[in-house]
Amino acid sequence: MVEGVDVGRVRELNRALVLRDLRRRGRSTRAEIAKQTGLTHATISAIVVDLLEDGWVREVGLETIPRGRPPVLLEIDPRSHFVLGLQLGPHRTRLSLLDSLGAEIASRDVRTRSKRLETVAGHCAELVADLLSSVKVARRRVHAVGVCVPGVVDPVSGAAVDVPGFGWRDEPVGAALSSAIRLPIHVHDDCYALAGLELLEGRAHGERHAVLLSVTGEPAVALIIDGRVHRGASGDAGSLAHFQIPGLTDRCRCGNAGCLGTVVSAESLDRRARGPVRASLDAERMEDVPALALLEAAGRGVPDARAIVDEVAAHLARAVGWVLNLVNPDLLVLGAGLTGLPATMLASFSEDVLAACHPGVRSVLRVERSEFGGPDRARGVALVALHESVEHLESVFPSVAS
Within 8 A by CB and 6+ apart from 39, the residues are 14, 17, 18, 33, 47
Residue 68: pLDDT band with limits 50, 70, 90:
confident
Query: Is domain 82-195+378-401 in CATH 3.40.718.10, yes or no?
Result: no
pLDDT for the residue numbered 398 = 38
DSSP character at residue 363: H
- For the chain, the structural domain boundaries read 7-76, 82-195+378-401, 206-371
| Mean pLDDT of the chain, nearest integer | 87
Decide if 189 contacts 150 (C-beta within 8 A).
yes
Q: Which CATH superfamily is domain 206-371 in?
A: ATPase, nucleotide binding domain (3.30.420.40)
Class of domain 7-76: mainly alpha
Residue 390: pLDDT band with limits 50, 70, 90:
very low
In this structure, the chain runs to a length of: 402
What is d(CA 112, CA 166) in angstroms, rounded to the nearest whole number?
10
Residue 4: pLDDT band with limits 50, 70, 90:
low
| pLDDT of 101 over the 90 cut | no
Predicted confidence (pLDDT) per residue in 154-197, tens digit? 988 999 998 988 999 999 999 999 999 999 999 999 988 999 88
pLDDT for the residue numbered 139 = 93
What is the pLDDT averaged over residues 94-105? 92
Domains 7-76 and 206-371 equal at CATH topology level: no
Closest alpha carbon to 401 in 224, 255, 237 = 224
Half-sphere exposure of 65 (CA within 13 A, CB side): 11
Determine phi and psi for 31, rounding to 5 degrees: -65, -40
Residue 41: pLDDT band with limits 50, 70, 90:
very high
